[in-house]
Amino acid sequence: MGFKPEIIEVTDEGARYVERGHLFYLDKWISMPGAPHVDSWRLNSGIHNGPECMVCHKVVCDHCNKDFRTEVCELVCGVCLTAGSHKMDCPNR
């Protein structure tokens, strides 16, 4: 089984496990204030199921890829995150 880090950031609709990582949709039925729960059924195809990133919309099977929580999202810009606003050339702008 893969390493499961703690959630480090929570927004109204998503949660992130690592800095610049995927921002996964939360399960609106299970999540409670102070107890976020990532929606692990955004991908549901046969034996494959897992969460979806709100930024890049990548869906990951949590059975096939146990370390998906520590992946860096290619569309999350670390410079923009620390600056507080997107730069002119940022793909997320």
For 70-88, what is each residue's pLDDT tens digit?
888 877 766 565 556 666 6
Whole-prediction pTM value? 0.73
Query: Tokens 């046969």 identify what position?
Result: 46
For 27-70, what is each residue's pLDDT tens digit?
888 777 777 888 888 888 888 899 999 888 889 888 888 888 88
With cut-offs at 50, 70 and 90, classify the pLDDT of residue 1: very low
Are 63 and 49 contacting, i.e. CB atoms less than 8 angstroms apart? yes
**CA of 5: how far to CAs of 39, 67, 74, 93, in Å?**
16, 10, 19, 29
